[in-house]
Amino acid sequence: MNYSADLSAINWLKIGEQPVTKGQIFRVANALPNVFEAYTALLPAVGHIEGFPFDQVNLKNGSIAQLNENAAIWSKYGIHDAHRTPSYDPTSFRELANQFNLPYDVTLLNKLGWGKRGFAVDWIRTANSFRSLANVLAAASPLSLYIEDYWRWGEGLNILPSADDVLYDVTTDEFVEFMTQSFFDASLYLFPEDKSWCLVNVEDCSVTVIGTDKATAVRISETYPLETMPLLHGSPM
């Protein structure tokens, strides 16, 4: 990836001008300026184990009997097994919301019982979906990638060509490769030369968000292979 130390191209994003204080919810407004007509959450791919006995796994009961039952169930389905891979069939967050009687909104991902291991994010399918969407939006135009927490990935894991605070010129493949290498947990901004849209991913947030005009938001909902949710500028991430 080529890069430049000139960061003037990100001034419009006003990064850090809407800080979150302790105890506050991180919102779209804390990550993106209010310059777009629409904001859309891009949900990851999710899969579940067909027939998994969710009601029999209890993570709050620390008794020996319950711990043994949890372990037996996980062993049966190949969870926490170095020699087996659990079989997660594609599902959707809407289906999970219905199954567990939870509201289908952006807070759902924080309310689901991930620890029971009956469902999991499919990161390979998620990466492929991000690539498909980025290819459509970029349409072969140059893309800029700014990684706010660059020190985690430059000096920390050495997966960036520079350990400094720089702006990268990237292809869609390079963007997706970095997202994968950083476990989809880097705080970053991806945008085209004309700044007509901006995709933001923030460390520890539930969803990736993209700001666009209304027409592009409709196109995203029709193009992105996975689920999307319309957001407001004040919506939580």
Q: What is the DSSP string of 29-58?
A: GGTS-S--SEEEEEPPPEEE-TT--GGG--
Task: Give residue-wise pLDDT tens across range 76-131.
Answer: 999 988 788 899 999 999 999 999 999 999 999 999 999 999 999 999 999 999 99
Percentage of residues of the chain with pLDDT beyond 90: 89
The answer to whether residue 21 scores a pLDDT higher than 80 is no
Asked whether the predicted pLDDT for residue 11 surpasses 80, the reply is yes
Percent pLDDT > 70 in the chain is 100
On whether the CB atoms of residues 168 and 145 are closer than 8 A, the answer is: yes
Task: Kindly report whether the global pTM for this prediction surpasses the value 0.85.
Answer: yes
Question: Residue 130: which of 188, 213, 204, 89 has the closest Cα?
Answer: 188
- Where do the structural domains in the chain lie, given as residue ranges? 2-44+123-231, 46-121
Residue 156 binned pLDDT confidence (cut-offs 50, 70, 90): confident
Helix (H, G, I), strand (E, B) or coil at 141: coil
Mean of all residue pLDDT scores within the chain: 95
The pLDDT score that the predictor gives to residue 164 is: 96
Mean pLDDT along residues 161-173: 96
Residue 83, token pair as written in the block? 């020699």
Average pLDDT of the residues in 208-229:
96
